[in-house]
Amino acid sequence: MERWLTIGEVSERTGVSASALRFYERKGLIGAERSTGAQRRYRSDVLRRVAVIRVGQRVGMSLQEIAAGLSSLPSERVPTKADWERLSRSWRARLEARIRLLEGLRDDLSSCIGCGCLSLRRCALYNPQDRERALGPGPRYLLGDEPDPARHAA
């Protein structure tokens, strides 16, 4: 027997406002049925979906990325452990790339990041005369490029 929750109950359990839940529903992230009185009723598994949405947003995933992942879950039944594992695998590479980027930001912000500012003494060694700009915009070393002595020999 499925357990159904009102929008107020879902809001209370998830810490997400009713207006945000309605927004998630309009965007296709969650679904609701209507009672005979036209009130929204959510299956209890919506609690997990909302938790995934909130955590995904906190780690920098866009709602489009989250929606794409959630759309792979069955809508006609409660997702199983295998369904959630499949979703997790599909996000793994993207999340690991974000983890590496965050670790780089945490560990390397006090050194040259290849952004071209040349404000730190080490920048003149790692990125003399801002030669790394040839690799593209942004903090090249945080984005995964390595200083290349051959580029600096020119």
Per-residue pLDDT at 151? 63
As assigned by CATH, the class of the 4-108 domain is mainly alpha
Distance CA 32, CA 120 (A): 54
Per-residue pLDDT for 2 more than 80? Answer: no
Distance CA 145, CA 121 (A): 20
Per-residue pLDDT at 104? 85
Distance CA 52, CA 14 (A): 11
Element (H, E) at 95: helix 81-108
Predicted confidence band of residue 147 (pLDDT cuts 50, 70, 90):
confident
Closest by CA position to 120, among listed 104, 101, 139, 148: 139
Per-residue pLDDT for 105 more than 80? Answer: yes
Percent of the chain with pLDDT over 70: 95
pLDDT digits (tens, 9 = 90+) for 12-59: 999 999 999 999 999 999 998 887 788 889 999 999 999 999 999 998
Per-residue pLDDT for 154 more than 60? Answer: no
CATH 1.10.1660.10 residue window(s) in the chain: 4-108
